[in-house]
Amino acid sequence: MALDRWIALIILGITLAYGYAAFFTMDHSLPPFMQRNPIWPSTFPKALSVMAMVASLVILLGLEKSSGEDKSPDIDYRRLGDYNLGQALMLLGLMVAYALLLRPAGFLFSTFGFLSLGAIILGERKLHLLLPITACATGVVWYLVEVVLGIFLRPWPFFI
């Protein structure tokens, strides 16, 4: 079986567990007044799990490939060293660091650092454009979440 189908099988297993949680365990603790609402807190997770299951089944069953295509896999797992594995691992490490630093460093610093370092890892070298764009994007996202949605995000580090 090709690597893409193995990944689709793993994603299908994860989405089955996620879908089970969304459909059967999330709604039991709702208060009675929320049980009459047309949209529950589990509505988006339910839709997301169904879409992910359908997408992974399409890949797993090979429905996305037309009959005239070459049946060789797109990614050769025996030649992983030929791909940009270092960049991928650095981005994964950066994601973990972002998640761990979000509370202590604050949203603005950690998001600005994540976006800037992620772009540098991916090859962006025009820092005179990169830094203002990531600063604006960080500020706009913080404003939308904090002011428009009303969800508190600690903007500054814990010591300020």
* 95, 106 contact by CB (below 8 A): no
- Most distant CA pair in the chain, distance: 61
Question: What's the pLDDT tens digit per position in 21-52?
Answer: 888 887 777 777 777 777 777 788 899 999 99
Backbone angles phi, psi at 39, to 5 degrees: -120, 120
Question: How sure is the predictor about 151, in pLDDT bands with cuts at 50, 70 and 90?
Answer: confident
- Picking from 54, 64, 53, 44, the residue whose alpha carbon sits closest to that of residue 12 is 53
Tell me how far apart the alpha carbons of residues 136 and 29 are, in angstroms, rounded to a whole number.
Answer: 39
CA nearest neighbour of 10 among 83, 59, 45:
59
Whether residue 91 is found in the same domain as residue 78: no
Domain boundary pick from 59, 82, 105:
82
pLDDT band at 154 (very low <50, low <70, confident <90, very high): confident
Instruction: Assess whether pLDDT exceeds 70 at residue 69.
Output: no
What are the tokens at 103? 């509370």
Average pLDDT of 16-20? 92
Q: What is the pLDDT of residues 104-118, one digit of tens each?
A: 999 999 999 999 999
Number of domains the chain contains = 2
Which residues form the domain of 110? 85-148
Q: What is the average pLDDT value for the chain, to the nearest integer?
A: 85
Query: Which pLDDT belongs to residue 57?
Result: 92
Phi, psi at residue 137, to the nearest 5°? -65, -40
CA angle 130-132-138, nearest 5°?
100
Q: Does residue 155 lie within any of the structural domains?
A: no
